[in-house]
Structure 1
């Protein structure tokens, strides 16, 4: 009887843990390959993207969590995203552009300045595309593109700053016969520049040099040095993707390498903080997950302050002590694209004609949107660090994670029961550092690069703009009593300063601005607040 009671208690406790994360499927009509949950029109709400050779379907998310469907016809494109899709605003016009990784080559779909039509840019070189990413490889402020090549050295496209790219091959992921499947750009050594990890595989299951995972260290001078052996990450296994996150909140990125072959187990490698990694898989509980596959991503699904792992529809729930509890088949086995699809502060999924809404809990959260000025406009490559009563968490802004899908560019943190954030530090690719202090929880912040001063007390608990928003001419401001002789600056979506003056009578006349989206910043010597608005 005692054994039966103990078993019942065990299953009850296990059920309670598993119940912490679940999803509800809601159908949505899609056309073509469902590939992305990402902001397409610059309002920082994650939209849903499905594509065919002649159509881009976008379900634009509204502030109430509903969607408005738009279909944008295109001439037949040379390559479709049969293997992967990445998204980012590479020409800084306020609208996301797309990269299609096809079986025979690479196509860029460049959003025109109206956001309602696209221009195709295709390259003639043969590329058997796998994972694709947007990233500023040479850190010149312009987003480049990287594409894994299955049967030859990987390729990359350097942004010339005028809406065109220059093709390169080799140097990064340069094994002669390829085997490059899942690239993810990260700063594993905390030196402020982007390194890249490439998950590798042999389709026939052989384990040899072609299937050895690679990591390239950026020396900060434009050179990438392969250090897989030195770091301890040169595993001979079969994998199509790996996911990087700080799973123990110690300030260093760790890596979960997902096996794609049942003959190999998943691996969790802990960053030792000295440029090396230790395989800690055996003590973490991840081997409870025996299902293998190609899709691996990491988010804090239950907002408890510890990053979880989504692996082929299963969730490894982080217990906060470098152990994980398996929540089996919480999502379809391809994971899908991740984002906040009803703007409630919890991460959802989009795949298979459904939005899988996270059945949220009472935990707190914050989402941070990055707007680059000297850096690329999306802030890709920026590192965000937050400090609260539970300690320190880090995230990076990335385009292209997992294997096939594109997920949100917005940076999401779970906060557990914490009700305040001591500070937020954003370290931009340019080297600029923004710091916000005493920040309220359960909100979305948009931060323009360089818009804060180190040490400012930035508390965004109350709105700046009372009404109207959108506006045609006058912004009426809220209570500014805690400011002394405040001034204001307005930035456009490209991070450019378009207006600046002293605040007069708690109103600002924006009638001379062009229609579009802006960020208003009010500040004095001690305080600063920012808020988005629309000039219609």
Structure 2
């Protein structure tokens, strides 16, 4: 139990810190309008001419644009108003602002104003203002306004003159030099105007098949790209390949592939997935979203791009409508988590989309790993603006998120019990009182979120630590150093309220919060900025920071026109490298911090041509050589139809394999198991290292079974390799004869015949098999692990110990030990000498259990009592507990002497920390299970913790799908939304129920310290971003130290849980002491996508075969050391 005591102390310490900070000055101070003079309000007025059901984006709110319009060194502020008039405030210093809207002539006119942008569009060194509009059907009310700065605090609308009087349904404008010709072009994010189609999948029936029908309407709705041709903008959207049909809400710009050309990420709401437009450097773009990302947010709102982990690569963050607080989460859950609809979306190439925020980590190889759950930023309420910036000047990008919607239009009680009746009244021709209708929609203000970057891949929520703020309906937001003190202040546009003006107090911490700020300009004679310029700094410790200059960030807004980097305690930066889109560079050395540097492209020079030296990677993909042709096909069984509340499928586990020389030619061959209805394949190795399938009649006859594991071993003592295949998969009823395992006898030449009477008759859902001579009679006995009991998740089915008597196997499990029969939901087993006494032990790993070691004593297996220690992240001291406390979802296990001390360590792969399902000792992932409603089905209800209370994970409707009787108890959604797991059932119902808990999800190495003690060394953070399904151990880089290769990802989860898909494969370099570091794919050459289930390592051939679910195998050669 004391394993998590240190974590409890850590939480207690944080609470003490929070309480202490509240008594002191917080990092941000909310300034009242009476002090600032900013009294603007974005009051959204609804009437018969315009209300939310006429224009569903009405509640998105307004934007903020910050820039110095009169070049006096003080950033000024411009707000957009949805239905009122925009406001411009002149910064007079010391957080005093003057409303000059009327005299400046910039009120935005009529119509629904959305995004606002300050930009020097004509290169005269003064910022102009571009106002976007949407909503009304009349195009005249949507024409954009371009306010050209007259350089005397007045502006003139010249949109038509510049070719920008576009009347599209526009959310925001984004300036960029897409063709690298030295001027600013502009990209507009637009949206479709028919919101009735927002959640439908357009399809029609043709020849008995559903065919996806793309909306071909593009006038006013497609995103638009306008090229700057000598000051006149021309629509080049079609030529650039950017015609779209989506409900766009934001874009983010950066050179994502470091080729010197700006790329565009577009966040789209509703069914249509986001776009990742990669610049082809020839005036065109290609959407490479599905090639580079594994999944996205569903209702994508605002977005930002920044380097969150200081590896020199920019990452992508997109917010959604994912509510963190359990009651509101279940009340507002906006997306129907329907498995069939989700599969239909995939069929029509609408991609994997999940209703939560997404943080795409740049892998440097043209792919991204989505890590929002791991980072702790997946759920931030109904969110609009994300801003990634260093708000505490410690050198790491923090995160601010605005939240709130004026009316909770997705409230389920409103939709089911109020809206339906209103629609029925309208269908009957009855009038509806609009005011009464709108007031019937719940309206709840919420707080914005602040996260502090931990200097890794995680963030801590610092909302109440850093600021006092009221609840609000916040939308657009922007940052700037409004008082020129070297830290970033914040301005937030609120709906039906005055804006927030937050003064940042970081500059008060002199010496520990230094900074460098850059103005990126064309030349010393002009203040025209060079968008897309990359600034990279390297401090004395070798830590780098990199950011592209682009003030257009978040949602509807534009932040300051200066690039800001915090440097922490560093006062001298040894190296500053500025790279302009022209690829010209400026290198500065030993730069003092706490200053604003103006850098000019005119002073930059093209670097000397470097001779590219291509370094050999550790692995080379040779799949194209077709050494082994295998594509796994998964049978389409949907576990959720039988058990609606399970978090993941138990039937989707393959492919599995076994390898051995089965025809005595000295070369290892491979058997790859098949899913139900698909026969297993025997692949014989040829002399050239390629493989050819050898058909087996026995395998074809048994294709009805689902192969869950396989083992080549000598079953009958004739010195050749026979084949044992475990049947499982969970798709059949418990006890079905389709779970009968199979033994195939080899004739010595690689021909197999089924030994039908060699195995006991059984119907257990198996998972793995390992050979062991437990009775020391000279032949191989078998342990067969049982997986989940079909229809009774997460109960374990029986495991078996099979005794070999001259090729006939008997189940002796109950005789050998009753503990083995229900050892757990087993995934992996190993037979090896763990305690060093010269006798092997049986090590097991599985789901809803801890790793377990069984020792053979007096003819029976008994679970050993082990202890485990690990270093507390707070005290750096060892914390000790029993190994049995580490309950996780352990998918694989290997034993190996990792640290070279002569004993065997245990390497274990777990679920990882990048899932919406989490748990620790005090707040474990918990399941209550029983036939609660007495209808004959086993009901497993999974719960998660929030604020020390455990709530059911799934929605009311999903609960009712499993237990229809619950409809009477939870008539309305609000009756269910705040119910804890403990209150879900009566005391009578809870009698005799099963309780399952998991509290540990990290993968790592159990270092054997002898005498029954282990030390758990967690793998590095990047190895925790996905499941680990298989492990291969070898010295891959030939430095004399063992490394670990892991493969992972899981596409088996329920829709609301989502795929875990951040890491298909990863090489971990060892240091010989049980500590590992992740090797980047640019070094190891391993580029694998998809659900990697197993790896076949043929060391003698220097071949690695990666077997993937529902995909072709990938083959790599293991290169010799350089």
Same fold (TM over 0.5): yes
Q: Distance between the aligned counterparts of 2:586 and 2:88, measured in 1?
A: 36
Structure 1 counterpart of 2:518, from 354, 368, 388: 368
429-438 or 294-303, larger mean C-alpha shift: 429-438
How many residue pairs get aligned? The number is 444
31-40 or 139-148, larger mean C-alpha shift: 31-40
SS of residue paired to 1:295? strand
Structure having the higher Rg: 2
Aligned to 1:57: 88
Contact 1:133 1:399 in 2 (8 A): no
Residues 371-410 of structure 1 aligned to structure 2 (within 5 Å) = 371-373=521-523, 377-390=528-541, 391-410=543-562
Aligned to 1:200: 268
Structure 2 counterpart of 1:22, from 16, 24, 28: 28
Which structure 2 segments of 5+ residues have no match?
43-62, 135-141, 193-220, 324-332, 334-354, 403-447, 493-497, 608-1122
Residues 243-322 of structure 1 aligned to structure 2 (within 5 Å) = 243-262=304-323, 263=333, 264-287=355-378, 289-312=379-402, 313-322=448-457
Aligned to 2:771: none
Over residues 170-213 of structure 1, what are the superposed CA-to-partner deviations in whole Å (9 max), with x where a residue is unaligned? 466846532111111111111111000000102xxxxx3x2x01
Deviation at 1:150, TM superposition (A): 0.8
Contact 1:153 1:173 in 2 (8 A): no
Aligned to 1:339: 480
Aligned to 1:186: 254
Q: TM-score, normalised to structure 2's length?
A: 0.37
1:154 aligns with 2:195: no
Aligned to 1:323: 458
Q: Distance between the aligned counterparts of 1:392 and 1:81, measured in 2?
A: 43
Deviation at 1:395, TM superposition (A): 1.4
Contact 2:242 2:285 in 1 (8 A): no
Aligned to 2:891: none
Over residues 124-181 of structure 1, what are the superposed CA-to-partner deviations in whole Å (9 max), with x where a residue is unaligned? 543111132111222221112211111121012222223x322344466846532111
Structure 2 counterpart of 1:418, from 544, 564, 570: 570
Aligned to 2:48: none
Q: TM-score, normalised to structure 1's length?
A: 0.75
Q: Distance between the aligned counterparts of 2:398 and 2:587, measured in 1?
A: 26
Over residues 197-252 of structure 1, what are the superposed CA-to-partner deviations in whole Å (9 max), with x where a residue is unaligned? 000102xxxxx3x2x01101112222211100111165251111221111110010
Q: Distance between the aligned counterparts of 1:257 and 1:17, measured in 2?
A: 30
Q: Distance between the aligned counterparts of 2:482 and 2:595, measured in 1?
A: 15
Q: Distance between the aligned counterparts of 2:108 and 2:95, measured in 1?
A: 32
Q: Distance between the aligned counterparts of 2:550 and 2:10, measured in 1?
A: 45
Contact 2:479 2:559 in 1 (8 A): yes
Q: Mark the CA change 1:292 to 1:56 in structure 2 (over 3 Å): closer, same or farther.
A: closer
Aligned to 1:358: 504
Quote the RMSD (CA, aligned, Å). Answer: 3.1
Q: Distance between the aligned counterparts of 2:72 and 2:580, measured in 1?
A: 21
Q: Mark the CA change 1:24 to 1:174 in structure 2 (over 3 Å): closer, same or farther.
A: same
Q: Distance between the aligned counterparts of 1:406 and 1:451, measured in 2?
A: 27
Q: Distance between the aligned counterparts of 1:11 and 1:47, measured in 2?
A: 38
Aligned to 1:38: 67
Contact 1:283 1:323 in 2 (8 A): yes
Q: Distance between the aligned counterparts of 2:222 and 2:576, measured in 1?
A: 39
Aligned to 1:89: 120
Q: Distance between the aligned counterparts of 2:594 and 2:124, measured in 1?
A: 29
Aligned to 2:156: 118
Deviation at 1:355, TM superposition (A): 2.2
166-175 or 394-403, larger mean C-alpha shift: 166-175
Which structure 1 segments of 5+ residues have no match?
203-207, 456-536
Contact 1:244 1:253 in 2 (8 A): yes
Aligned to 1:495: none
Q: Mark the CA change 1:232 to 1:174 in structure 2 (over 3 Å): closer, same or farther.
A: same
Over residues 474-501 of structure 1, what are the superposed CA-to-partner deviations in whole Å (9 max), with x where a residue is unaligned? xxxxxxxxxxxxxxxxxxxxxxxxxxxx
1:135 aligns with 2:176: yes
Q: Distance between the aligned counterparts of 1:54 and 1:268, measured in 2?
A: 35
Over residues 64-122 of structure 1, what are the superposed CA-to-partner deviations in whole Å (9 max), with x where a residue is unaligned? 66545534343875666721011110101111011111012322111135453323314
Aligned to 1:70: 100
Q: Mark the CA change 1:120 to 1:268 in structure 2 (over 3 Å): closer, same or farther.
A: same
1:448 aligns with 2:600: yes
